Amino acid sequence: MADFDSGVTMLKPAANNPATRPSLTETLIASVNAKTAEANALLKDTSLEFGNNAVTFANSFGAEDMVLTDIIIKNKLAIEIFSLDTGRLPPETYDLMSKTEKHYNTKLNVYFPQADKIGFYVKTNGINAFYERIDLRKSCCHIRKVEPLQRALKGKKAWITGMRAAQATTRTSLPVREFDESNQLEKFNPLSNWSEQEVWAYIRLHEVPYNKLHDQFYPSIGCAPCTRAVAMGEDIRAGRWWWEDPNNKECGLHVKK
């Protein structure tokens, strides 16, 4: 399928996604404040339960992850933060990475794929082979995301994600705490019961830096070639691997054994 058109370049939506600017009503603010207190308490308890250097947070720079980054850094929680640079991220994500370092006066802890594995994959299959077959998509995700994640989680007892139950059909029963069989450690999803509106209310209330692609109807952002904008009312994760079955598309970071 050498002439596959990703569709990414065809969509140039205006930067006016209303979902990123919810009306900050008293009810919404109260709800966000209550859930923020809950998330903060959960993160604090987690760091106490597992001890220093044992809990790590995977920041992929989505809106939810920026909320958790803000909570962890501002409350000086004993939780490490790391990120994965797949080498195929959109420029807006790199802009946000740089902005995050400046905003929080911190240095990012970034894990990269192994160059020899990428080199072999590209030479064997082609630079954009992930469009051609699901096994090639999954092996690209494995090299660029899963293996670096495994390195980042090595020696940890628990990890934190910014996943929400309402994000996808694959996440509808997402618990706040679960055992991650694949990586053999505890996994916490403190924003599991947050709505998209609450996430954006937090970002606006606390002036948290965020990825400008969200304003252009990209509710979920991954690698540039595998992410597109969504139409109003479309599923939040419809823009990720849009050519695949929506009931079965995760990158391998959050699969259950």
* Binding region for ligand SF4 (CB under 6 A): 86, 88, 130, 137, 140-141, 144-145, 222-223, 225-226, 251
Cβ nearer to ligand SF4, comparing 46 with 161: 161
User: In angstroms, how far is CA 220 from the centroid of its own chain?
Assistant: 8
> Rounded distance, CA 4 to CA 129, Å?
10
Give all strands of the β-sheet with 158-160 in edge-to-edge order.
110-111, 80-84, 55-58, 158-160, 185-188, 177-180
Active site residue 223: no
Which residue of this chain has its Cβ atom nearest to ligand SF4 in the complex?
Answer: 223
Q: How far is the CB of 59 from ligand SF4 (least distance, A)?
A: 17
CB of 53 to ligand SF4, least distance (A): 28
- The residue annotated as part of the active site, out of 140, 223, 226, 251, is 251
Residue 40 or 125 having the CB closest to ligand SF4: 125
Element (H, E) at 56: strand 55-58
Shortest spacing between CB 129 and ligand SF4, in angstroms: 9
Beta bridge partners of 177: 188
Least Å from the CB of residue 141 to ligand SF4: 4
Question: Using CA atoms in the order 238, 152, 255, 171, what is the torsion angle rounded to 10 degrees?
Answer: -50
Which residues, in sequence order, are CB contacts of 213 under 8 Å at separation 6+? 90, 92, 93, 221
Task: Between 38 and 132, name the residue whose CB sits nearer to ligand SF4.
Answer: 132
Q: Which is nearer to ligand SF4, 90 or 209 (CB)?
A: 90
**What are the residue numbers of the active site?**
251
